[in-house]
Structure 1
């Protein structure tokens, strides 16, 4: 497959750049270059066109703040971690680079977060004064945060349903499989993983917004500056809400483990009571199983029924005593 770079002009129209051997043919009205899993040829082309050094995939993985947020040759480089595969059982984080070079925005990603698809779909509705690189980035970050809020809302709904399944209606006493709670523990672990990824992503976005808010292109654009403040407040609110949800998940985990311990204790209690109930009959049988010559009951015609009745009585008395005490 030949290398293709997808770009968007100031009129929000998609442009596919295929002739990477001619940097001079780069369309001048392009304001956003979206690089998805770029090849080395594509990276070199963008470097020649914009005069910047494009970070590689290994560069994006660097966790040092100085390697994720910096200015070089009048270009602003920012990297954030976004939640990907949120609709699956294995959500993960993917690192995305945002570069402001002049009036153009460059994004480098090796995944397909849904927020990008949502932003591209709504790109044509942006006003003309929002079609510069910095303004587009502000709007893109708003879409990313909105998508994060949506994922968080879906997670809250699923956690509420899971909580209902764990505790259920105790009055109905519906019989459930023996490994029911163990399966719910795996579900709880999955939700904990999702919330952890969301909190990491929100922390990354918060640092990026703080840095992005200080660059001259935003300081000179009053509307974009106000949007950044709004998005920052949204991130703070979402972070606090995610922390609250994480505490609820911890409670749900502790409660599930407690219910499992209660069920196990109930089983052990039944076995303990059964062993105590059958202990007197065992004692009676042991007595009459002794090989003594002088044992009057051995000569009785009713000796055998007598011993059976004695064993039954010795078992029934402890049983009703335990019920009277409320131990059963």
Structure 2
């Protein structure tokens, strides 16, 4: 699907791809999962080679950032499916061909819908290919910051569930912490994807800053500097969040070990408490002929009392030591 946006920020229909052409005031061509016919139309109309889905997956820097025939080709990885349990990265191509901007994507990151919704608020002097592309990168970074803030809020809630419930001594299922470990793994996956995305955007902005169309426009140049600084700040923020996730993971594993040790301690103390009564019962259960206690009239209650006493003494000793 191809959507073209003119200088008045309104989408226009292209019509017949085999014979159609672009209006002179078209400033942005947004290609979403383009067909081969749509790719050929853009290539014929603008004289640029449109990268395919396989081309976008190439991780070599020389294949993701390059200039060819006065056109600038850039590819970045953006975070997608943030609201789901399986966030992932999607590769998006950005092409600067003369005064026009071209985007090629096989997913729909929210940053694009946010940019389209705010497109009418872009000042007239920013409605050129390079300036508009810089504005799009700014929206992408703003969305990335929003994702990190969302991750921080979720981690705070998760931390409350892990530590706050224990402070209030709320009874939880035995596998409660194990389930929280899966939640922690999900947050770690999201932050890792954000850091990978920021790394690709950082390389892209370094390359984009050197493009002649950017260097010739002071406002666009300053915006690129601002976006680069924002990327650096978000990288540091993402590292801080990753550290908090690591702490939460270590703390959860520690709490699981404490619970397991408590269970083992109960069994150990129980075995020690009942060991002396078992010894008494074993002694008087022997079948020797000469055992003086067997002829006592009170031998049976005597042995029962001895077993109870041998169990009570270790119990109170453990209580006195603070082991219970």
Would the TM-score normalized by the shorter structure come out above 0.5?
yes
Which secondary structure does the structure 2 equivalent of 1:176 belong to?
Answer: coil
Partner of residue 7, structure 1: 4
Residues 1:17 and 2:10 are matched in the alignment: no
The number of aligned residues is 324
Partner of residue 82, structure 2: 86
Q: 1:168 aligns with which of 164, 187, 212?
A: 164
Partner of residue 325, structure 1: 321
Residues 1:140 and 2:136 are matched in the alignment: yes
Which secondary structure does the structure 2 equivalent of 1:66 belong to?
Answer: helix
Q: 1:222 aligns with which of 210, 218, 222?
A: 218
Which secondary structure does the structure 2 equivalent of 1:62 belong to?
Answer: coil
Which secondary structure does the structure 2 equivalent of 1:17 belong to?
Answer: coil
1:200 Cα shift? Answer: 0.6
Residues 1:36 and 2:8 are matched in the alignment: no
- Counterpart CA distance in 2 for 1:261 and 1:273 is 18
Q: How does 1:61-80 map to 2 (within 5 A)?
A: 61-80=57-76
Provide Cα deviations, 1:286-323, integer angstroms capped at 9, x if missing partner. 11111111112222232111111111000000011111
Which secondary structure does the structure 2 equivalent of 1:177 belong to?
Answer: coil
Provide Cα deviations, 1:56-88, integer angstroms capped at 9, x if missing partner. 000000000000000011100000000001111
Partner of residue 145, structure 2: 149
Which secondary structure does the structure 2 equivalent of 1:226 belong to?
Answer: helix
Query: Tell me, which stretches of 5 or more residues in structure 1 are unaligned?
Result: none
Partner of residue 267, structure 1: 263
Partner of residue 99, structure 2: 103
- Counterpart CA distance in 2 for 1:101 and 1:220 is 15
Residues 1:179 and 2:188 are matched in the alignment: no
Contact in 2 for aligned 1:74/1:101 (Cα 8 Å): yes
Provide Cα deviations, 1:189-229, integer angstroms capped at 9, x if missing partner. 01000100010111111111110011011111111111111
Q: 2:196 aligns with which of 194, 197, 200?
A: 200
- Counterpart CA distance in 2 for 1:192 and 1:243 is 11
Provide Cα deviations, 1:254-288, integer angstroms capped at 9, x if missing partner. 11111111111111111001000000001011111
**With structure 1 as the length reference, what TM-score do the two structures score?**
0.97
Judging changes above 3 Å, is the alpha-carbon distance between structure 1 residues 18 and 297 closer, same or farther for their aligned structure 2 residues? farther
Q: How does 1:295-310 map to 2 (within 5 A)?
A: 295-310=291-306
Which secondary structure does the structure 2 equivalent of 1:79 belong to?
Answer: strand
Contact in 2 for aligned 1:34/1:107 (Cα 8 Å): yes
Contact in 2 for aligned 1:5/1:18 (Cα 8 Å): no
Query: Tell me, which stretches of 5 or more residues in structure 2 are unaligned?
Result: none
1:89 Cα shift? Answer: 1.0
- Counterpart CA distance in 2 for 1:174 and 1:109 is 48
- Counterpart CA distance in 2 for 1:169 and 1:121 is 42
- Counterpart CA distance in 2 for 1:147 and 1:285 is 73
- Counterpart CA distance in 2 for 1:66 and 1:319 is 73
Runs of 4+ in 1 over 6 A off after TM superposition: none
**With structure 2 as the length reference, what TM-score do the two structures score?**
0.98
Which secondary structure does the structure 2 equivalent of 1:167 belong to?
Answer: helix
Q: 1:57 aligns with which of 53, 57, 73?
A: 53
